[in-house]
Amino acid sequence: MVAVERRFPRSRHAGIADAVIARASAEPEITARPRRTLLRALRHGRLVVAFEGAELVGWFLSEPCGPGVHELGFIFVAPTARGDAVLLDLLDAAIAIEPRAVAVTFNPSFARWLIRSRGFRRVSLVRVTRVSRGWFLARRLAPGRLSIALRRTTAGEAWYLVRDA
């Protein structure tokens, strides 16, 4: 049975952040977030985590992206736990943080799934930037984030998504 949570006692924050980092470093398709970012997200209830027993099997990071808006990003579900149920539980817990969300993905099937299952709609980069009052673009222009994005960007087409409250 997989349990999805986003509120943890402060005494567990470091262990959870370390488990996310360790799992992310073992997965080549994941760009790990800094420990400081994960600890801040845990303090503010913005890191949704899935456990099967004591094993970390997934997470979804909600990052502030303007007043009343958050970016859904840094998602992972372990192959042993993949399926709509765990992903939906993670997504629903993340959406509950703030109903207004933006996201970007290079995976068309994932984008279509978000559109069908949770009311996202495809928009332009300009629209995502407006909805987030510039935060979405500004966060990507930060030197550390930009260098990671340039290394990770694929030849695929970006799908920009918005979910309004």
What average pLDDT does this structure show over 104-115?
A: 90
Could you name the CATH architecture of 2-163? 3-Layer(aba) Sandwich (3.40)
**Pairing of β 55-64 and β 47-52:** antiparallel
Write the pLDDT tens digit of every residue in 125-159: 999 999 999 988 888 777 666 565 555 555 678 89
DSSP H or E segment with residue 41: helix 35-43
Using alpha carbons, list the distances in angstroms from residue 35 to 19, 32, 53, 100, 119: 10, 9, 23, 26, 31
Sorted by sequence, the CB contacts under 8 Å of residue 160 that are 6+ apart come out as 102, 103, 104, 122, 123, 124, 125, 127, 128
Sorted by sequence, the CB contacts under 8 Å of residue 145 that are 6+ apart come out as 139
Share of the chain above pLDDT 90, in %: 52
Distance CA 130, CA 138 (A): 12
Write the pLDDT tens digit of every residue in 116-127: 988 999 999 999
Task: List the domain boundaries for the chain.
Answer: 2-163
Write the pLDDT tens digit of every residue in 5-58: 999 999 999 999 999 999 988 887 777 788 999 999 999 999 999 999 999 999
User: What is the model's pLDDT at position 12?
Assistant: 96
